[in-house]
Amino acid sequence: MKIYPWHSVKATDRPVYHDDTACTEGNNIESYYKRQGTGGRRKCEHCQRLG
């Protein structure tokens, strides 16, 4: 399901944003690293494939 984009601010995470609740990478972001919006990053490839 598509929702408002989010991204991680953790330095070791990939510099991408997520917008699909089925994305395992996006769902694995700890809440204290999760921020709303794209953060000026490109879209996660997994989210792109999901749809």
Domain ranges across the chain: 2-50
Is 17 a residue whose pLDDT tops 90? Answer: yes
- Report pLDDT digits (tens) over 30-47: 999 999 999 999 999 999
Over 90: is that where the pLDDT of 20 sits?
Answer: yes
In the predicted structure, residue 1 carries a pLDDT above the cut 90: no
pLDDT of 28 reads 98
Can you spell out the DSSP letters for 1-51?
-EEEEEEE--TTS-SEEEEETT-HHHHTS-TTTEEES-TTPEEPHHHHHH-
Mean pLDDT estimate for the chain:
97
Tell me: pLDDT of 26 over 90: yes
User: With 90 as the cut, is the pLDDT of residue 51 above it?
Assistant: no
